[in-house]
Each structure stands twice: as C-alpha cells, then as structure tokens.
Amino acid sequence: MAERSKWLVDTDWLENHLDSPDVVILDGSWHMPQEERDPEAEFARTHIPGALFFDIDKIADLSTDLPHMLPSAEVFSAAVSNMGISDGQTIVVYDVIGLRSAPRLWWTFRVMGVQDVYILDGGLPKWKAEKRPVTDAIQPRSKGHFSARLDHSAVRSHEDMVKAIRDGGVEIVDARSTERWRGTAPEPRPHLPSGRMPGSKNLPFGDLIDEKGMLKDVDFIKQRFIDAGVGLEKPIITTCGSGATAAILTLALDTIGQQRLSLYDGSWTEWAARPESVIERD
C-alpha cells in the first residue's frame, strides 16, 4: 500500500486507546446549511465512546457574520479548557462523513500550537462498518488547562489575498466544485456570486478522497495537484467556500511534503461578499 498521511490514525489504534486518559476524541462534524442536518443532535444519538462534540461554528470568532472563523487564542484556550482538554494530550478528530470537516478541526488545533492532533482514518463510517463500539452516553471531562499559541503565518485574511494576487509568487488552490469555481453553477449560500479569485487553480476536495471516505495515497495526490496546474515549488494558499474543506487540501499538501502552507479563513464567503474583490468567470 502506498504511503499516506502521518496525521491519520487507524481504527485499531483508536479502539485500543479508548480508555487512555491522555487521548481526547472529538467529533468535529459539520454540514452545509442546505443539508439540513444537526451534527450535535446526531452526535448525541451515536458517537465513539468518550468522544466530545466540537462545534466549529460556536468555538469561533463570533464578532463576524462569516461562518466558523478562527477565534482568538484566548477564546480558543478558554473553550477547549472548559471541554476538559489540556496541553500535552493527544487529540483524535473525526466526522460522520469520513473526511469532510475533521481536517478543519485538525488544522485549527495545529494552528493553535498542538503537535499531537490526528484524524481518524475513514471517520465514523469506517468505525461503524467495522462494528466497533458506539454509544449515546456523553461523558463530560473535568476542566483542563490549555494554552493556545496562534500561528498567524498559517492563516490568510482578505487583505493578504489581495496582496498575494497582486504580487504573485504563490499558488491559490480552491477546493470548491469546478462549476462553482468557473462561475457556471450557483453558490450554495444565497446572494453570493460564483466564480474564482484571479489566478487561482481548482482542485475539488472530493477528488482526493476515495469511496470509503479515506484520503488517497501520496502518488495520486501529488499527480492530481500537478494536473491542476499547481506549482508545488511555490508557497500555497488553500481556499474553499467557507474555510472548512480547504483544510482537506492543506492535509493533502502536507501529506506530499509541502511545508509553505496557509489557508484563507474567510474563503469564498468573504471574497465574493466584498465589493472590492475581483471575481473571474468563464
């Protein structure tokens, strides 16, 4: 089997560590509004034993109308501590799709300074398919002590994107569907035009995930980025609709050894809503 990401842990490993006090399991499931799913209610019905639900829309910068933007290090530290998470623990994140929003939570903890944060390979679908234990019992943890250290270099703002487009020398890779990127299909969020940032490349996140909800292997991923016209020798900024699935591209790029990576947190929801933004379409 070809090499895959060092940030993935398999279901055997996690089942063997369910009772480890230094392993924290987080369900980071999130769905687009039009999917009309309540991830927290789904979590309450079925989750991996000992898991906690992490709401990326609540532990966020609530001063903006943009969805699930990174909070400050102080806000994040307080929220995570209250969940019962402490410095030095190993964090394993998953979602109910297989690989959709878990990479966003993985990226968030990485940006906040956590080294030992991993994604459950195949997520809850693989776990359940293997008939591993699930529960509806929620086990709160006693308060922890977590100190976030925000890596500002890993996060891009609208102003950063304007500068990056103007100056060149970086690759911007968009995880949305090709039709949305070309401007030929509507955005799922109302009142937002579709289209793309000038000079951006397109690699729909689903192209990097197999039918079981698992990240594809290194050779496939590298070739897919090359086929999309991405210059892998350059710094790369990932983007998507709202900053969630862009993290799948970030995970994939890390997997093939890219180190100069950042993510545009506001992504298309911010870019398309700003009247000064330049939008290209086919």
| Structure-token pair, residue 102 | 């878990």
Contact 77, 51 (CB under 8 A): no
Contact 213, 126 (CB under 8 A): yes
Distance CA 101, CA 196 (A): 22
Distance CA 149, CA 52 (A): 22
* Amino acid identity for residue 186 in this structure: P
For the chain, what is the largest distance between any 2 Cα atoms, rounded to a whole number of angstroms? 54
Burial status of residue 66 (CB atoms within 10 A of its CB: 0-12, 13-18, 19 or more): middle
Single out the catalytic residue among 240, 248, 249, 263: 240
**Is 217 labeled as catalytic in the residue annotation?**
no
Show which residues are catalytic. Answer: 240
